[in-house]
């Protein structure tokens, strides 16, 4: 636990200097302008509703399959031969 704490503190204290050293602190994408930030945030705005829609559709489909299995089990139980055996 102590080693993890020392590693984390060391890494977090060195990381900002390492990232700012390249290209006068410009970063890997290039110069950050208002247009770049606006486009990135429009991407974020589009991503979250799309992710929610996709995950909701997946959940809806899985729930539909679950209910179909439950209904089939009820039908099998209702039509089972009460005598059992061979």
| Structural domains counted in the chain | 1
Residue 62's domain spans which residues? 53-77
Between 28 and 23, the higher pLDDT residue: 28
Residue of 73, 77, 76, 54 whose CA lies nearest to 65: 73
CA distance 63 to 59: 6
> Residue 11: its pLDDT value, please?
82
In-domain check, residue 13: no
> Residue 13: its pLDDT value, please?
82
In-domain check, residue 60: yes
Taking only the tens place, the pLDDT of each residue in 28-83 is 677 788 998 999 999 999 999 999 999 999 999 999 999 999 999 999 888 876 66
Q: Which two tokens stand for residue 8?
A: 């984390």
């Amino acid at each position: 636990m102590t080693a993890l704490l020392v590693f984390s503190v060391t890494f977090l204290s060195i990381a900002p200097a390492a990232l700012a050293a390249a290209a006068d602190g410009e970063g890997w994408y290039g110069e950050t302008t208002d247009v770049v930030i606006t486009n990135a945030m429009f991407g974020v705005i589009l991503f979250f509703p799309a992710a929610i829609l996709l995950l909701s559709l997946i959940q809806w489909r899985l729930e539909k399959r679950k209910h179909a299995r439950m209904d089939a089990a009820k039908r099998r139980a209702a039509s089972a031969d009460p005598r059992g055996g061979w």
